[in-house]
């Protein structure tokens, strides 16, 4: 299994509070991604990173920001959480080479009340 | 923008039967990659099989095989001799050939294998 961890694994927070989710990898992979999973939508890309301090928006980036100051860590921040951001969040990594395979973390279940 | 559609929200079959999950996609690209991911109740995303669009031969992995129809933009997954451990959500996903290798997922199909 690829070395990807996410923290926290579960979190309940109140509307309007800031929340930061962490993704940590031990594989030294170049690409890192944040997805959210909601019923009826599959997984949708929030933000991704193609190197340290290099990030870009995905399909559903509104209300989220990211940072990557080290190769191994990719942070997802909800500046002011809303109930619509209740979801399961997955981090993924990829070497960026010919296999084109993404390896997923275990997910974080976030509930915004 | 690419889209991926899985038209079967739920399917249920008996153990040892063969089941086919459907997936269609829309893209203007000629080179790309298609994937099937499995998500068991543990929530872990597991890659089942991968297909490169430039390869005419359908990919196979043990009991799992695909029927890739490029002109029809169809990418179905066949599971032979289904097992109880195949019970899971299955997601079809598309990745363009260039850029940051972003995945676009379908809505998923919930597959239940009954004993």
**Which chain A residue's Cα is nearest to B49?**
A101
B105/A56 touch (CB, cutoff 8 Å), yes or no: no
> How close A68 comes to chain B (CA, Å)?
16
Residue A48, CB half-sphere, CA atoms under 13 Å: how many?
22
B101/A100 touch (CB, cutoff 8 Å), yes or no: yes
pLDDT at A85: 97
Give the three-state DSSP class for B86. helix
- Strands A108-112 and A10-13, bridge-based pairing: parallel
pLDDT digits (tens, 9 = 90+) for B13-72: 999 999 999 999 999 988 899 999 999 999 999 999 999 999 989 999 999 999 999 999
Burial of B9 per CB tally in 10 Å (0-12, 13-18, 19+):
exposed
Quick check: B9 pLDDT over 70? yes
Closest by Cα among B47, B115, B31, B32 to A92: B47
Enumerate the residues of chain A whose CB falls inside 8 A of the CB of residue B96.
none
Q: What radius of gyration, in Å, describes the C-alpha atoms of chain B? A: 14
Closest by Cα among B69, B66, B58 to B21: B66
What average pLDDT does range B94-113 have in this prediction? 90
Q: Find residues 34-63 of chain A whose CB sits inside 8 Å of chain B.
A: 35, 40-45, 48, 50, 56, 58-59
B107/A41 touch (CB, cutoff 8 Å), yes or no: yes
> How close B65 comes to chain A (CA, Å)?
18
pLDDT at A111: 97
pLDDT digits (tens, 9 = 90+) for B84-97: 999 999 999 999 88
Cα(A92)–Cα(A99) distance, integer angstroms: 14
Q: Which residues of A87-110 are buried (b: 16+ CB within 10 A; e: fewer)?
A: bbbbbbbbbeeeebbbbbbbbbeb
Q: Which of B6, B91, B101 sits opposite A43 (nearest CB)?
A: B91
């Amino acid at each position: 299994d690829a070395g990807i961890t996410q923290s926290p694994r579960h979190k309940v927070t109140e509307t309007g509070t800031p929340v930061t989710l962490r993704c940590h990898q031990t594989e030294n992979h170049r690409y890192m991604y944040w997805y959210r999973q909601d019923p009826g939508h599959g997984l949708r890309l929030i933000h991704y990173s193609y190197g340290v301090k290099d990030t870009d928006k995905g399909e559903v980036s509104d209300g989220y920001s990211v940072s990557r100051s080290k190769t191994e860590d990719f942070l997802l921040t909800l500046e002011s959480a809303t109930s619509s951001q209740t979801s399961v969040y997955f981090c993924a990594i990829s070497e960026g080479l010919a296999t084109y395979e993404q390896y997923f973390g275990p997910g974080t279940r976030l509930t915004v009340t | 923008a690419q889209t991926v559609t899985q038209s079967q929200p739920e399917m249920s079959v008996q153990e040892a039967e063969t089941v086919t999950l459907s997936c269609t996609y829309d893209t203007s690209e000629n080179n790309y990659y298609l994937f099937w991911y499995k998500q068991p109740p543990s929530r872990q995303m597991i890659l089942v099989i991968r297909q490169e669009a430039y390869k005419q031969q359908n990919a196979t992995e043990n009991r799992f095989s695909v029927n890739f129809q490029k002109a029809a933009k169809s990418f179905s997954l066949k599971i032979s001799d289904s097992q109880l451990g195949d019970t899971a959500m299955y997601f079809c996903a598309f990745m363009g050939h260039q850029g940051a290798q972003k995945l676009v997922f379908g809505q998923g199909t919930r597959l239940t294998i009954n004993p």
